[in-house]
Amino acid sequence: MKDYRGYMDSVHRSGTVWNLSVMVLMLLFPLSVGIIYGVVPDGHGLLMGLVATMPMYWAVGVIETVTYVPMLGAGGSYLSFVTGNISNLKLPCALNALEQAEVRANSEEGELVSTIAIAVSSIVTTLIIVLGVILIVPLTPILEAPVLAPAFAQLLPALFGALGVVFISKQWKIAVAPVILMLVLFIAVPALNAGTVGIMVPVSVLFTLAVSRILYKKGLLN
């Protein structure tokens, strides 16, 4: 237990340093461009842009922290928030690793398994991106071939479909409510699209947790 506490202290320390470092690096780019080219943003335009976007991003940030951290663990969360692609890459990798290892996400073993899975996922993703950059020119004619277009359009549905079968087959009653909710929302509100995933995933998670608790209280879940 003492070693685990020391490990967690190092995780929080390193995670805080890296997250703050990445934030500074992201802010340095526009600052550097402004200094190099002598460009200063219009104060009124900047303020109006922040007013229009900040409430949404603050809300998403709070919701994602509340929903993702219990599933990813501390180390996995720090890695995920730095490297990105949480809902469509890091979260599925972590959940699948936890499933294969047969450990709970909020256990000591789950913390380690989730962190390792997300770290490996980040390394593999980086290597694939590097390889893609190197090969993009020679492979462009093949990748843009009309015969492959339908396959590329189904990559994400195939990924989530495969993961969904594993989890839905265990407790299909839990899956009914969020599926119906998302279908109703996306049909009733056409403005919802792939760009709203950052909001809709946490909303679906919270809704599913609420429905699951109700079903459990009524004795409808094992």
**This prediction's pTM:** 0.67
Residue 20 belongs to some domain of the structure: yes
Which 8-state DSSP code applies to residue 148? G
Residues 77/69, Cβ–Cβ less than 8 Å: yes
Check whether residue 61 and residue 130 sit in a common domain. Answer: yes
Residue 169 belongs to some domain of the structure: no
Token pair 């946490």 is at which residue?
Answer: 202
Residue 161 belongs to some domain of the structure: no
Check whether residue 100 and residue 130 sit in a common domain. Answer: yes
Query: What is the pLDDT at residue 20?
Result: 92
Query: What is the pLDDT at residue 17?
Result: 92
Burial classification of residue 201, based on how many CB atoms lie within 10 Å of its CB (0-12 exposed, 13-18 middle, 19 or more buried):
buried
Check whether residue 82 and residue 135 sit in a common domain. Answer: yes
Query: What is the pLDDT at residue 197?
Result: 64
- What would the DSSP string read from start to end of 185-199? HHHH-TT--GGGHHH
Query: pLDDT by residue for the chain (222 residues), tens digit each?
Result: 557 788 888 988 999 998 999 989 988 988 898 889 888 888 888 888 888 777 777 777 787 788 888 888 889 999 998 888 887 788 888 888 888 888 888 888 889 999 999 999 999 989 988 998 898 888 888 878 888 888 878 877 887 777 777 677 777 888 888 888 888 888 888 777 666 666 777 788 788 888 888 888 888 776
Residue 124 belongs to some domain of the structure: yes
Check whether residue 68 and residue 122 sit in a common domain. Answer: yes
Q: Which domain holds residue 77?
A: 56-147
* Domain count for the chain: 2
Indicate the residue among 147, 179, 213 that finishes a domain: 147
Indicate the residue among 147, 167, 198 that finishes a domain: 147
Q: Which two tokens stand for residue 110?
A: 């789950």
